[in-house]
């Protein structure tokens, strides 16, 4: 199996799509501050977003590891069970960081705004998914996965600001 991260890095159109509207950039893997998992398990930054947030793999393994997202304001949550699920989430629902803030109607309106602002959004998304060999689930499926991931708590996915020992707040609450 080839690496999805390597595939993104070698395919400019896919990397561009993930950067916008996905707000996912491979060259932003360093978090804004020193952090660790409360469990002491391996924490590896692999991408970030334009607002200073970071995507981390948790524990040993490869791209199948759970993915924790930490924003730059002291919030964190497990958001996917593996890189493939994260990329599907970003591609299908680029508004995912606002999921818990918006009603279903508001999310639908936001999706319509994305499509109005980026008329070729779905075509670009489909080309990026094809370049990575990803099947795209429905929006309902990625949202269900997001809810399942964010419900996971405990030391395995609790992020700590290392210098002061402060625990990051849960980014999403059901």
How far is Cα of residue 60 from the mean position of the Cα atoms in its chain? Answer: 19
| pLDDT (tens digit per residue) in 108-153 | 898 889 889 999 999 999 999 999 999 999 988 998 999 999 998 8
| pLDDT (tens digit per residue) in 78-111 | 999 999 999 999 999 998 988 777 888 888 898 8
- Percent of the chain at pLDDT > 90 equals 79
**What is the Cα gyration radius of the chain?**
16
Q: What CA–CA distance (Å, rounded) separates 143 from 92?
A: 9
In eight-state DSSP terms, residue 56 is E
Calculate helix-pair angle for 12-19, 83-92, nearest 10 degrees.
70
Residues β-bridged to residue 35: 161
| Dihedral sign from CA coordinates of 71, 72, 75, 76 | positive
Q: pTM of the prediction?
A: 0.94
List all residues 6 or more positions away from 13 whose beta carbon is below 8 Å from its beta carbon: 124, 127, 128, 131
| pLDDT (tens digit per residue) in 18-30 | 999 999 999 999 9
Residue 2 parent element (H or E):
none
Domain extent listing, the chain: 4-160
């Amino acid at each position: 199996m080839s690496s999805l991260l390597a595939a993104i890095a070698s395919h400019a159109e896919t990397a561009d799509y993930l950067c916008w509207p996905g707000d996912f950039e491979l060259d932003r893997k360093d978090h804004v501050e020193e952090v660790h998992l409360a469990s002491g398990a391996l924490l590896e930054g692999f991408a970030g977003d334009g607002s200073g947030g970071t995507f981390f793999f948790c524990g040993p393994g490869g791209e199948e590891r759970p993915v924790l997202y930490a924003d730059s304001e002291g919030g964190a949550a497990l958001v996917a069970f593996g890189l493939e699920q994260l990329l599907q989430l970003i591609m299908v629902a680029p508004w995912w960081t606002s999921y818990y803030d918006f009603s279903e109607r508001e999310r639908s309106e936001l999706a319509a705004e994305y499509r109005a602002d980026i008329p070729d959004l779905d075509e670009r998304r489909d080309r990026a998914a094809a370049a990575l060999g990803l099947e795209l689930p429905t929006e309902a499926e990625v949202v269900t996965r997001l809810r399942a991931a964010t419900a996971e708590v405990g030391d395995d996915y609790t992020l700590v600001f290392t210098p002061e020992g402060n625990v990051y707040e849960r980014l999403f609450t059901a």
